[in-house]
Amino acid sequence: MTPQLLLAFDDEWPLAEALATALAVPLKPITRHRFPDGELKLTLPPALPERVALLRGLHQPNDKLVELLISAPAARELGARELLLVCPYLAYMRQDIAFSPGEAVSQRHIAGLLARVVDALVTIDPHLHRIASLDEVMPGCRARALTAAGALGGWVSQRVPDALLLGPDEEALQWVAEAGRAHGLDHAVCHKQRQGDRQVTIALPAVPIAGRRVVLMDDVASTGRTLVEAATACLQAGAASVDVAVTHALFVGDALAHLRGCGVREVWSTDAVPHATAVVPVAPLLADAIASL
């Protein structure tokens, strides 16, 4: 699908501008008014072309999901016949199993909801652990999952040419392996056990860490505690330095302060989520994928 127009919200404007330039399409805003009771009024351009791309990442997802549930059908009413959702960060992907009876499998329900309002979706490094592809949870929607691991690995290899890429858990193997392969870097993964939102324990892999310049690499950092525990273990094992590279920099609350406090040197991320640590642009990756849809 070659979109004729990109729609975006103000909080993602820098990425929207980069993407519109890369796609060579016009960019127009969706504006919002929040009523005193919290409800939203969204305003789209009054006449839309047939093929429209809508940029809406889902960091801090709940309000943004409502924006999507309103703006996607509104775009169709205003003329869009094909609607592509460009969702650099796709939230709710980590709740992919009922860990106790009655627990909702949010991954399935949120992905299913989106599949009903758009025709196609492009996203980056969604947390697909127990399913192989988004098609399993997005029936009837052309979903494309990209990875920023190669681009992040490129950034890392420029700054730390002899880095040991370390994933904090087994799920991160896909990203460290891809980045390692693309840039000739060693890689390994730790073993993680989560006890609570902010409690995790990490066991280092059986590879030499002492003297190595370690770069911890993951898809998403939320509370940052996974990275803090992994960094602390590496430094205790004699790592020469520990840096961090993540695709999605959520870094809620005091996450960054905790990372700095435990001895992490640099923190790098992509601009899939707007954040002060963003150094790797994702617009080229998104534009290539959209052009080839």
Of 222 and 269, nearer to ligand R5P (C-beta) is 222
The 10 Å CB-count burial string (b at 16+, else e) for 228-245 is bbbbbbbbeeebebbbbb
Using the structure block, give the residue that is written with the tokens 């990756």: 285
The CB-of-179 to ligand R5P minimum distance in angstroms stands at 15
Place of tokens 């869009």: 80
Binding mask 96-135 for ligand R5P (x = CB under 6 A): -------------------------------x--------
Token pair 């960019």 is found at: 27
Candidates 28, 32, 51, 94: give the one binding ligand R5P (CB under 6 A): 94
The token pair at 212 is 């190595």
Kindly state the smallest distance separating residue 197's Cβ from ligand R5P, in Å: 7
**C-beta of 34: minimal distance to ligand R5P in Å?**
28
Q: Is 28 in the active site? A: no
Piece of 30-38, 131-139, 147-155, 164-172 that binds ligand R5P (CB under 6 A): 164-172
Number of residues that bind ligand R5P (CB under 6 A): 15
Q: Which of residues 53-72 bind ligand R5P (CB under 6 A)?
A: none
Q: Tokens in use for 22?
A: 């890369």
71 versus 123: smaller Cβ distance to ligand R5P: 123
By CB under 6 A, residue 272 contacts ligand R5P: no
Read off φ and ψ for residue 103, nearest 5 degrees. -70, 130
Closest CB 242 distance from ligand R5P, rounded Å:
15
Burial 186-219 (b: 16+ CB within 10 A, else e): ebbbbebeeeeebebebebeeeebeebbbbbbbb
Q: Which positions ≥6 away from 190 have C-beta within 8 Å? A: 166, 167, 168, 169, 202, 203, 204, 205, 230, 233
Q: Which is nearer to ligand R5P, 117 or 275 (CB)?
A: 275
Closest separation in Å from C-beta 126 to ligand R5P? 11
Among residues 3, 168, 180, 281, which is the contact residue for ligand R5P, using CB under 6 A?
A: 168
Site for ligand R5P in 199-258 (CB under 6 A): 200, 218-226
In degrees, rounded to 5, the angle at the alpha carbon of residue 226 between the alpha carbons of residues 196 and 105 is 50
Helices (H) and strands (E) in the chain, counts: 8, 16
Hey, which residues are catalytic here? Answer: 192
Query: Would you tell me which residues interact with ligand R5P (CB under 6 A)?
Result: 94, 127, 168-169, 171, 200, 218-226
